[in-house]
Homo-oligomer: A and B are copies of this chain.
């Protein structure tokens, strides 16, 4: 029996487990510190009160219920030895004939780790519900205050990073303040809220074409978002952010910049790249350890056709998960593995109601069509009928009423 240990039930790990499900001669152990698979592309919708956590996540064991050769264990992985393929966890040690690492990434603070407390990122469900509470609470605090200066600082929202997450967050907060909350307050006018999107580079969505970047910026500005390009954040505090020389009073800073691989990579004892990722071979394994695969955001993989790095998107992780599983099955058959070739299915980002940008092959388009395509692709990507139906219901209701169904302040921030 060939034993495969998979670390992480994200797009890569889950897809690898699904590909190995019920294959004779293979036994899979899937480890994750959470009990659920998260559909990360919609995480910003939880952070902006449009969807509930349960809408974009599903229990890993329930997804793999019928995979009789897969065992799921909720455990925190502490380290992996690529030589012995031993995995250390808080639930014991496990050794695999193969080990697949898909532990993902967090945001990078470029050496300013102390900024994280005032400007948390958006990678997990607890972070999303905490961000939701912070945004909603800012409006409540502004309403409670009778000092115009304090009100203003509560109504300033600063998003750092102009990638898809930053663009989507900025658009969603702008829409929430202009439509959803507009008539709910008596003392403040939520439409006066100022949403600032700060990007160090010279355009938004750097992975897209310049035309799509310009379109996204135009759409955000039409929603009232203040887009600052070529602006580096030089300081972050609980009550302000400094951009270049300018200090902006704000109580809500959301970090959506940079990528830093999960700390697990450091336990491997192999050289890492600047973002803490593991450089991998054309077969997405650690050089010299062909039975240790590194997948998704944890890997620094290169397209062998173009020599360009593969982007940190769901499609790369999904395809790498399937590739790694098939490579193991090929080994068992004594067949050659082949190299990993990423099939680019395109990319998209949504800016707000009926506004999005899509790039599929040579096609580049935006506006209403792009937005509907974005909706369709994301609903199809969700796991399970219940989630799809629930998300369609919430989105349909929001589309008709401009409402947001999950305006809940729960947790420490909201008592």
Chain A residues within 8 Å of B, Cβ to Cβ: 33-36, 52-55, 57-59, 61-62, 65, 71-76, 91, 125-126, 129, 136-137, 140, 143-144, 183-187, 385-387, 389-390, 393-394, 397, 401, 403, 405-411, 414-415
Bound-state CA distance A34–B140 (Å) is: 10
Chain B contacts for A144, CB-based, 8 A: 73-75, 91
- Please state if A408 and B53 are interface contacts (CB–CB under 8 Å): yes
Chain B contacts for A36, CB-based, 8 A: 407-409
- Please state if B405 and A54 are interface contacts (CB–CB under 8 Å): yes
Bound-state CA distance A125–B186 (Å) is: 26
- Please state if A407 and B73 are interface contacts (CB–CB under 8 Å): no
A54-B407, A389-B393, A390-B393 provided; 12 other pairs, C-beta below 8 A?
A34-B409, A34-B414, A35-B137, A35-B409, A35-B414, A57-B408, A61-B185, A65-B183, A74-B409, A125-B408, A385-B397, A386-B397
- Please state if A406 and B54 are interface contacts (CB–CB under 8 Å): yes
Chain B contacts for A401, CB-based, 8 A: 386
- Please state if A126 and B410 are interface contacts (CB–CB under 8 Å): yes
- Please state if B405 and A386 are interface contacts (CB–CB under 8 Å): yes
Bound-state CA distance A52–B72 (Å) is: 24
- Please state if A184 and B62 are interface contacts (CB–CB under 8 Å): yes
Nearest B residue (CB) for A53: B408
Could you tell me the distance in whole angstroms from the C-beta of A45 to the nearest C-beta in chain B?
Answer: 12
Could you tell me the distance in whole angstroms from the C-beta of A97 to the nearest C-beta in chain B?
Answer: 19
Contact of A405 among B390, B394, B414 (CB under 8 A): B390
- Please state if A389 and B397 are interface contacts (CB–CB under 8 Å): yes
| 6 interchain pairs, CB-CB under 8 A | A53-B406, A72-B186, A126-B411, A126-B415, A129-B410, A390-B390
Chain B contacts for A386, CB-based, 8 A: 393-394, 397, 401, 403, 405
Contact of A62 among B53, B65, B403 (CB under 8 A): B403
Chain B contacts for A143, CB-based, 8 A: 73-74
Chain B contacts for A125, CB-based, 8 A: 408, 410
Nearest B residue (CB) for A397: B386
- Please state if A186 and B405 are interface contacts (CB–CB under 8 Å): no
Bound-state CA distance A394–B391 (Å) is: 12
Could you tell me the distance in whole angstroms from the C-beta of A185 to the nearest C-beta in chain B?
Answer: 7
With A62-B184, A410-B125 known as contacts, the answer to whether A35 contacts B140 (CB < 8 A) is yes
Bound-state CA distance A186–B69 (Å) is: 9
Bound-state CA distance A73–B184 (Å) is: 11
Bound-state CA distance A129–B409 (Å) is: 13
- Please state if A415 and B33 are interface contacts (CB–CB under 8 Å): yes
Nearest B residue (CB) for A66: B183
- Please state if B35 and A407 are interface contacts (CB–CB under 8 Å): yes
Chain B contacts for A58, CB-based, 8 A: 407
Chain B contacts for A65, CB-based, 8 A: 183-184
Bound-state CA distance A21–B147 (Å) is: 28
With A54-B52, A389-B393, A390-B405 known as contacts, the answer to whether A415 contacts B129 (CB < 8 A) is no
Bound-state CA distance A320–B62 (Å) is: 45
Bound-state CA distance A414–B407 (Å) is: 23
Chain B contacts for A403, CB-based, 8 A: 62, 386
Chain B contacts for A72, CB-based, 8 A: 186
Bound-state CA distance A394–B140 (Å) is: 31
- Please state if A390 and B385 are interface contacts (CB–CB under 8 Å): no
Bound-state CA distance A33–B126 (Å) is: 21
Bound-state CA distance A136–B387 (Å) is: 19
